[in-house]
Amino acid sequence: MKILLTEPHPCSYLDDQEARTGFVDPDIEVTPALYEALNQLGFRRSGSHHYMPMCDQCRACLPSRIPVQAFRPSRSQKRTIKRNQDLQVRVEAATFKAESYELYERYIDQRHRDGDMFPASEKQFRGFLVEGSKQCQHIEFRYANELIAVAVTDRLATGLSAIYTFFDPAYDWRSLGTQAILTQLAIAKRMRLPYLYLGYYIEASPKMAYKGRFQPLEILQDGEWHQIITRSND
């Protein structure tokens, strides 16, 4: 399998670090079986691209997953579940909807103006969160029929893979990012899938260290999955 390696570029998560990213050759057809194999090696999907950090010196990005049956919500996570009991949750095929894009555009504009996804565009949204995999689903969260959050997730043989979540910043008090993970865990449990894959855990990055609040958490190091214990702020 051919891997294309980028030139060094500034790291998005750690200051004063250079990053390099390896991409699976886009001419290769990524079948469900190959997707699963790539996932077990630590690759992630973004649109039609499958990638993994391949930095020269740093190894801070650690693929992470939650064993669904072993997961137990913390006190604060239980409060989040209770807080959001009035939401309607619906799993839909990954298709373009104007209301979903409008929500995404508002989220990027208010939460990520300093990031490389700003400004949002319909083309970007389609390429990132609609197209790229037939295994992709959108989990919609509605309050009084208003769409307030969407969790984009892939169905794999060994679990769900959390791709991205966006929500209405006006509902910050609901902790919708946390609720999205808790809902994906509940769905995976109902489907009897063993894992929820969360992407890269980076202990030194506030943007990525939140994954350690979901226990037990497993990380991939040297080709093996290991359980880690992280400090709780509960």
- pLDDT, tens only, 131-188: 999 999 999 999 999 999 999 999 999 999 999 999 999 999 999 999 999 999 999 9
pLDDT at 11 over 60: yes
Q: What is the predicted pLDDT for the residue at 65?
A: 98
- Per residue in 87-131, pLDDT (tens digit) is 999 999 999 999 999 999 999 999 887 777 889 999 999 999 999
217 forms beta bridges with 228
Q: What is the pLDDT of residue 231?
A: 60
pLDDT at position 232: 56
| Helices 176-190, 75-83: crossing angle, 10 deg rounding | 90
How many percent of the chain have pLDDT more than 70? 98
pLDDT at 192: 98
Any idea what the Cα angle at residue 1 is, between residues 49 and 14, rounded to 5°? Answer: 50
- Provide the pLDDT confidence category of residue 221 given band limits of 50, 70 and 90: very high
Q: What angle do CA 92, 98, 102 make, to 5 degrees?
A: 105
What domains sit in the chain, N to C, each tagged with a CATH number? 3-61 (no CATH), 75-193 (3.40.630.30)
| pLDDT for res 128 | 96
Interval 15-60: pLDDT, tens: 989 999 999 999 999 999 999 999 999 999 999 999 999 999 899 9
Maximum pairwise Cα distance, the chain? 50
CA distance 140 to 21: 31
| Residue 233 pLDDT greater than 60, yes or no | no
